[in-house]
């Protein structure tokens, strides 16, 4: 069985220890590098569909989208659809050649 360690921050020592214990089928990735959630939102995917595609819980997807919205300083407002605004910001960054969120 393979093991993929998703981390919120870089923790080389722990990852190295796990890699030594499980040398075959081990992967280590930062969550921010794995989850290109705005791309899936731009495809019109629901949180449930994103969760299924990425083998996550719906709550985890909600949390990541909420974190992205916070990073973009997009508070809730009745007149705005924050998911659409998030995708537009992501597309603008990608169009300018910057790394996506």
9, 52: one domain: no
Q: Label residues 21-53 b or e (16+ Cβ within 10 Å = b).
A: eeeeeeebeeebeebebbbbbbeebebeebbee
User: Over the stretch 9-33, which tens digit does the pLDDT of each residue have?
Assistant: 666 677 777 777 767 776 665 555 5
Section 65-69 average pLDDT: 85
18, 65: one domain: no
21, 42: one domain: no
Total structural domains within the chain: 2
28, 46: one domain: no
97, 51: one domain: yes
Residue 99 confidence (pLDDT) above 80: no
Q: What is the DSSP string of 46-65?
A: -HHHHHHHHT--HHHHHHHH
For the chain, the helix, strand and coil percentages under 3-state DSSP, each to the nearest 5 = 55, 10, 35
Section 72-91 average pLDDT: 87
Section 56-85 average pLDDT: 87
Give the range of the structural domain holding residue 69, as residue numbers without chain letter: 35-101
Q: Name the pTM for this structure.
A: 0.58
Residue 86 confidence (pLDDT) above 80: yes
65, 85: one domain: yes
Residue 9: name the closest of 39, 32, 26, 25 by CA. 32
CATH code of residue 49: 1.10.10.10
Structure token pair of residue 10: 């870089």
55, 28: one domain: no
63, 84: one domain: yes
Q: What is the pLDDT of residue 47?
A: 93
């Amino acid at each position: 069985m393979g093991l993929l360690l998703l981390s919120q921050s870089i923790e080389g020592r722990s990852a190295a220890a796990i890699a030594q214990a499980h040398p075959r089928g081990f992967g280590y990735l930062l969550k921010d590098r794995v989850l290109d959630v705005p791309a899936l939102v731009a495809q019109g995917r629901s949180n449930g569909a994103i969760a299924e595609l990425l083998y996550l819980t719906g709550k985890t997807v909600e949390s990541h989208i909420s974190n992205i919205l916070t990073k973009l300083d997009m508070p809730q407002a009745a007149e705005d659809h924050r998911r659409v605004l998030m995708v537009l910001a992501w597309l603008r960054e990608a169009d300018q050649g910057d790394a996506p969120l």
